[in-house]
Structure 1
């Protein structure tokens, strides 16, 4: 089974920059999208052969998540526990016979860490939610998680220790989640590999590969042995993030 996740930084804009070409080439069973920045009806989003599930933010042009799935799910839940963070369209969960797929766009702590306390509350709710799902069946959790977990996951760690996405508080929340029974699939397969999934639009960051790995597929520890491959598609343009892929036999 192939799953893809991509923060498109505005789906309508990405559609003009090769989104459908990569979508068709990937031929994924599940294609999870973050930061759609759109509401229903603002573009034709139907794709033959896929069911579509969308969670839009109340604020237009902001946040939002979307999943394309080849197989119809047993159930669909929007938000954490079906209610939290739906005002910003941050989470979609699809339930299948033998796993849950959770697509999330984690809040950014913002410049000056203005939203760090909000982010910390989100992380606690998120971990509680994933553990509740994991008690029933395995979880595949993906998306833009807005944190570079370890020093290997960021080009310039020393100069970013007080910046959103690399604070000790955010990194510790990721550590706590993983210690709760989950696995970072890319790092599980490639403990020493240096690849990034996001680059600032400033300072020629992508050309200089001054990036961050902040997009993840995280799975329940119980299915880690089913992981076949984890790919970061650094060659794919169209956003300040690149797509990531998980191949798993589940």
Structure 2
């Protein structure tokens, strides 16, 4: 089973930049996107063979998520705790043996003005994922807006304390991974320090691979033996993020 996740930084813009070419080429069983930046009716996306699920942000041109799946889920929920959340950040698909969750975690902002909100949100999300995990295995993917370890940032020394690389944000990721979950890319590539998923739009930054790894596939530990591969398609353009993928035998 092949799964793909991509922060497209505006789905309409990504479609103009070749999104559909990649989508059809990769032929994923489930394809999740974050930061779609659109409202219902603003895109006509024909994806033959896929069911489409959307969680739009109330604010126009902001955030939002979507999932395209070949397999029909038992149930689809939006947000956490029965609350749809106005920023459209979470979609959960329940299947027979697992939950598939895509997430676009709030950014703390350059000035860290939103860090308190982010940390409160993280606590609620941690509880939500663990409740799911108590029922059946979880596959979690998306833009987590944090570089977990120093090897996940090209220039880690100059970025300590910056949004996405604060002690507090990194500790929230550590808590998740220390409580029954696996960062699947690090499972296969524990020491690679050149795999990134986001680059600034500043000139030549991406060409020189000065990036951050802030997009993840994370799974329940009990799925470890079923993992086949996890990596990033770093050469795929169309967004300031690249797609990530995971293969698993379910």
TM-score in terms of structure 1 length: 0.98
Is the 1:65–1:104 contact (alpha carbons within 8 Å) kept by the matching residues of 2? yes
**Residue 100 of structure 1, CA deviation:** 0.2
**Residue 76 of structure 1, CA deviation:** 0.3
Q: Deviations over 1:20-44 (max 9, x none)?
A: 0000001000000000000110010
Give the unaligned 5+ runs of structure 2: none
Match of 2:248 in 1: 248
Counting matched residue pairs gives 249
Q: Deviations over 1:35-85 (max 9, x none)?
A: 00001100102311000000000000000000000011000010012315x
Match of 1:220 in 2: 220
Q: In structure 1, what is the Cα distance between the partners aligned to 2:167 and 2:80?
A: 24
Q: In structure 2, what is the Cα distance between the partners aligned to 1:209 and 1:235?
A: 11
Q: In structure 2, what is the Cα distance between the partners aligned to 1:57 and 1:161?
A: 30
Give the SS at the match of 2:187: helix
Match of 1:46 in 2: 46
Q: In structure 1, what is the Cα distance between the partners aligned to 2:141 and 2:27?
A: 18
TM-score in terms of structure 2 length: 0.98
Q: In structure 2, what is the Cα distance between the partners aligned to 1:82 and 1:178?
A: 25
**Residue 6 of structure 1, CA deviation:** 0.1
Question: How well do the aligned residues superpose, as a CA RMSD in angstroms?
Answer: 0.8
**Residue 180 of structure 1, CA deviation:** 1.1
Match of 1:24 in 2: 24
Q: Deviations over 1:133-182 (max 9, x none)?
A: 00010000000000000000000011111210000100000000111110
What are the equivalent positions in structure 2 for 1:91-102 lying under 5 Å apart?
91-102=90-101
**Residue 203 of structure 1, CA deviation:** 4.2
Give the unaligned 5+ runs of structure 1: none
Give the SS at the match of 1:88: coil
Q: In structure 1, what is the Cα distance between the partners aligned to 2:187 and 2:66?
A: 26
Regions of 4+ moved over 2 Å: none
